């Protein structure tokens, strides 16, 4: 047999095998990619789509309100809570400007018995809040933005918010800046005083005595809620300095006169304690002034000094002789009956 006749099988070239393996790998990669794309499309179609809506807050409107009144209607946005459905309930700002022992505590409890009124007490009795105008304005802004918390704080639907401010608590010393703030921010001023400054002085001296002696179970009571407590405090009869009496009454009267003059340019109402005692319809005027609904208002305060002044002053004869024949002689007479 010849060598040429022998069957010779030649091996495949390595290059052909590598090419086939490359093509196979490329096909597999393309298949995986196409499969993953299909899965993503199917998944996105089966999942629910959420559309995000952004609600824009519309400003509260005062339709039908005269322009002169619109600046006194406010829509606070407290930082400590949400007014929710009452966000567009207008709020009026007020301040009770008064002197100690002039009936402001009793008057404030009447206001706070109204469901829509919050009067937050004597907030400037703390000196740090009245150190300068910056601290005063910071305190005022907090109260009027409904961010001030006290026992008088009402719900979101407060329609009038304010506080008590005594004349000697930085009010008179900064009256120009405060009047400017009231006029620019639309604050109502309620000026409350006593006509009979002699009665106020007697009440003040008696209150100072109880602050020192604490006659009711070792605690000072500026105001009482029972006849028993009132009778205990009323037993004390202060002795007035007859020599300095006229000067004291004159100083108090000038302070009231100046306050009425300083705040005359604000939107204000002037009240006297004696008028509120004698004529309860005066309270109706207050509610109209604040623009809140008419409601029956009550107070738990019990009056302490009910007797004639002659029965409440230890040295009444000296006091009588010092005032008789002067411009303050009317203070000697009974100015109201309970």
Query: 3-class SS at 161?
Result: strand
pLDDT for residue 224: 97
Distance in angstroms (rounded) separating the CA atoms of residues 190 and 108 = 11
- The residue extents of the domains of the chain are 74-79+86-332
Determine the average pLDDT of the residues in 194-219. Answer: 96
For 293-312, the pLDDT digits (tens) are 999 999 999 999 999 999 99
Across the strands, what pairs with 119? 162
Residue 233: strand, helix, or coil: helix
Q: Average pLDDT of 198-224?
A: 96
Stretch among 7-11, 26-30, 115-119 having the lowest mean pLDDT:
7-11
Give the whole-number percent of the chain exceeding pLDDT 90: 71
User: Helices 245-262 and 316-323 meet at what angle, rounded to 10?
Assistant: 60
Q: How far is the C-alpha of 265 from the C-alpha of 263, rounded, in Å? A: 5
- Secondary structure of residue 186 in the 3-state scheme: coil
**Biggest CA pair distance of the chain:** 169
Q: What is the pTM of this model?
A: 0.81
Give the residue-averaged pLDDT of 116-131.
96
CA distance 189 to 10: 115
CATH class of 74-79+86-332: alpha beta
User: What pLDDT score does 7 carry?
Assistant: 45
What is the reported pLDDT for 55? Answer: 47
More confident residue, 97 or 37: 97
- What is the C-alpha separation between 279 and 243, in angstroms, rounded? 35
Residue with tokens 């004696």: 274
Q: Which of 149, 162, 150, 145 is nearest to 83 (CA)?
A: 145
């Amino acid at each position: 047999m010849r060598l040429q006749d022998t069957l010779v099988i030649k091996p495949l070239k390595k290059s052909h095998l590598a090419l086939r393996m490359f093509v196979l790998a490329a096909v597999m990669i393309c298949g995986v990619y196409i499969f993953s794309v299909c899965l993503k499309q199917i998944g996105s179609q089966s999942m629910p789509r959420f559309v995000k809506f952004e609600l824009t807050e519309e400003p509260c409107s005062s339709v039908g309100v005269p322009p002169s009144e619109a600046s006194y209607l406010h829509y606070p946005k407290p930082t400590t809570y949400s007014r929710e459905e009452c966000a567009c309930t207008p709020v009026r700002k007020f301040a009770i400007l008064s002197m100690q022992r002039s009936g402001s505590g009793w008057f404030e409890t009447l206001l706070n018995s109204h469901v829509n009124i919050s009067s937050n007490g004597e907030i400037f009795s703390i000196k740090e809040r009245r150190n300068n105008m910056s601290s005063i304005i910071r305190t005022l802004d907090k109260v009027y933005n409904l961010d001030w918390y006290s026992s008088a704080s009402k719900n979101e639907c407060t329609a009038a918010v304010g506080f008590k401010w005594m004349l000697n608590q930085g009010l008179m010393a900064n009256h120009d800046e405060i009047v400017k703030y009231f006029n620019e921010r639309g604050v109502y001023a309620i000026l409350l005083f006593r006509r009979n400054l002699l009665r106020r002085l007697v009440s003040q001296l008696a209150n100072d005595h109880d602050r020192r002696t604490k006659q009711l179970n070792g605690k000072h009571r500026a105001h009482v809620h029972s006849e028993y407590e009132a009778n205990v405090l009323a037993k004390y009869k202060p002795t007035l300095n007859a020599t300095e009496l006229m000067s004291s009454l004159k100083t108090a009267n000038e302070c009231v006169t100046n306050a009425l003059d300083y705040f005359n340019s604000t939107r204000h109402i002037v009240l006297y304690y004696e008028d509120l005692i004698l004529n309860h319809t005066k309270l109706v005027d207050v509610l109209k002034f604040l623009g809140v609904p008419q409601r029956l208002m009550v107070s738990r305060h019990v009056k302490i000094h009910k007797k004639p002044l002659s029965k409440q002053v230890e040295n009444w004869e000296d006091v009588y002789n010092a005032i008789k024949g002067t411009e303050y002689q009317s203070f000697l007479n009974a100015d109201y009956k309970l």
